[in-house]
Amino acid sequence: MNSLSTLDILIFIIYFALVAGYGYWVYNKKKKASISASHDYFLAEGSLTWWAIGASLIASNISAEQFIGMSGNGYFVGIAVAAYEWIAALALIIIAVWFIPIYLKNKIYTMPQFLKTRYNESVSLIMAIFWLFLYVFVNLTSILYLGAIAISGLIGPEYLHTVMIALAVFALIITLGGMKVIGYTDVIQVAVLIIGGFATIYFALTIVSEKFGLGSDALAGFKTLMAQAPDHFHMILEKPTATSSQEDINKYLILPGIAMYFAGQWIVNLNYWGCNQYITQRALGADLQTARKGILFAGFLKLLMPIIVMLPGIAAYVLHKNGHLPQLSGMDGAYSAILGFLPSGLKGLAIAALTAAIVASLAGKLNSIATIFTLDIYLKYFRKKPLEVKNEDSKEEVLAAANISYSDLEEKNTVWIGRVAAFAAIVISILFTWEDLLGIGGEGGFTFIQKYTGFISPGVFAMFLLGMFWKRTTGTAAVAGLITGFAMAIFFNSFAVSVLGHENIMYTAFLNKDGVYEIPFLINMGWAFFITLAVMIVISLAGPKVNPKAFVLDKEMFKLKPSIIAMIVATVLILAALYIKFW
């Protein structure tokens, strides 16, 4: 810990004590409530306020892949990567207005349950297993790896595995308290995240200003970034030409200009925010107005996130380019390099903010894993009665003597199954992250998550979209859509160029850094989605005009109160101003 002062360590300990103490207080308080144990553990049973829902959504979403991965993309590409955050704000408006009313009216608590209710058991089981694999082997592993790399980069690389285990244990402790504890501790986590994040970027900009002889002026630092790296301040990247550099091509492969706004960018965001247990779980226990306000509040906070997680990367790029960060070796090290400049005390706050983001995200993922495994797999296929005795009367006597009911015992057993599932998930993720067996470091953290999530996003989003809004969609079409989406994602990523050539009406492939033709993965995702949608529509047309399992929709579900309309308009106006400024 030679790079951390006593003040840094003290600030971090205060943060840890605050989160742990508040979480324990919430846990003790909720034990006295009359809410069922399992519903409280998995859903918080409607006890989260709108601001807690919004804060929890952001705390769970912003993690190491943003602080490290998006900051790295900011270093490499620039402000264009903010599209993931700013389009998310629009996606959250769509979710709040049209998706959440359908979930709440039909009492949907998990995403596999949605698929079972709307389609059939087979689709539900396939996706439950698929989501569990995705959460463990893509999300948990990448968050742990990037988080450990970032923090150990500040306190010493020899602490990499120690940090990894500490993050996992901290997240697991919060997860044991259930969704209510996660939701309310996330309010502290997001406050620390925002305060620490803004403090970090303020000092990063003053450092830039000082290094260029302009004094300690954050605004001058920002103007210096724009002057020194004008190519890093364009939202829309130009399509490469025959004279483009390899670096420009590599940037376009990650963020393919205007084309991504007609394809993958929307699929990424709508699938992530609207069809993802890890995210929607926070709102599914609330009433409609509370859920809507919470989701829109999260959308407003998303507008701020690029300032916190992307600008440090651009600052690192400018400093490195001008010889002030010679030790920086790769884009995923950009955020840690900036933290190294921070003064005593602030460095501790910045590490606390980074830890808050990582732990909140890990805890949210673990609770979602526990929820899907317990409610959609264990209770359906493996459940056994917790107490087996031949005589039913004697069973009741045994339970009465212990002063518990049979239902209480079932509830406690269900919660413990969820906790065991969370523990198993974090152990597996540590094993795969220990020596980076999945190659997360080679891909670049943020790109790794987006790319591999994109293999299932098109099929899943098509299933949800048609399942919600087209009454004719059938279970057979859903299964076909799932298979088609996955197959098309693999085809466009690995085989399209050799079969269809490197340029046609659908796409243009470019030579990547390895000298291999590659189609931007966001374009791949778009075509996989549209083809999946077409397949599902054709198959559904062979079925009844109204599927018996179709949801009943009415106009009242989608009516908005004036306060909701005001929040939507404010978000859209801010977003429009940002795009006009940085187009």
DSSP secondary structure letters along 430-488: HHHHTTTTT-HHHH-HHHHHHHHHTTTHHHHHHHHHHHHH-TT--HHHHHHHHHHHHHH
The token pair at 153 is 């980069």
* Residue 215: strand, helix, or coil: coil
How large a percentage of the chain has pLDDT more than 70?
86
**pLDDT category, 440, cuts 50, 70, 90?**
low
If one compares 397 and 107, the residue with the highest pLDDT of the two is: 107
Query: According to the model, what pLDDT value does residue 451 have?
Result: 66
Find, among 139, 182, 174, 136, the residue nearest to 43 by Cα.
182
Q: Is 327 helix (H, G, I), strand (E, B) or coil?
A: coil
CB 295 within 8 A of CB 54: yes
pLDDT for position 140: 87
- Count H helices, E strands: the chain? 29, 2
Residue 229 has pLDDT above 60, yes or no: yes
Q: Looking at residues 398-412, what average pLDDT do you find?
A: 47
pLDDT of residue 41: 54
Is a pLDDT exceeding 70 seen at residue 283?
yes
Tokens matching residue 244: 């483009």
Q: Residue 477: how many CA atoms within 13 Å on its side-chain side?
A: 27
pLDDT digits (tens, 9 = 90+) for 529-541: 999 999 999 999 9
Give 412-434 pLDDT, tens digit per residue.
Answer: 677 788 888 999 999 999 998 88
pLDDT digits (tens, 9 = 90+) for 11-28: 888 887 887 777 777 777
Residue 33 has pLDDT above 60, yes or no: no
Please state, for a pLDDT cut of 90, what percent of the chain lies above it: 26
| pLDDT category of residue 327 using cuts at 50, 70 and 90 | confident
Q: What is the pLDDT of residue 404?
A: 40
pLDDT attached to residue 272 = 85
pLDDT tens digits for range 152-169: 877 777 888 888 898 888
Going by pLDDT thresholds of 50, 70 and 90, the confidence category of residue 448 is low
Residue 394 binned pLDDT confidence (cut-offs 50, 70, 90)? very low
| DSSP code for 579 | H
User: Which amino acid, one-letter code, is at 232?
Assistant: H
- Summarize pLDDT for 72-113 with one digit per residue, the tens: 888 888 899 899 899 999 999 999 999 999 998 888 877 888
Domain ranges of the chain: 6-93+138-276+301-377+389-445, 454-552
CA distances in angstroms from 430 to 83, 139, 331, 550, listed in the order given: 31, 12, 24, 41
Task: Report angle CA 108, 114, 118 to the nearest 5 degrees.
Answer: 120
Query: Is residue 43's pLDDT more than 80?
Result: no
The token duo for 334 is 């950009």
Q: Which CATH number applies to 6-93+138-276+301-377+389-445? A: 1.20.1730.10
Higher model confidence: residue 204 or residue 451? 204
Q: Is 538 helix (H, G, I), strand (E, B) or coil?
A: helix
User: In the structure, what pLDDT confidence band is assigned to residue 384 with cuts at 50, 70 and 90?
Assistant: low
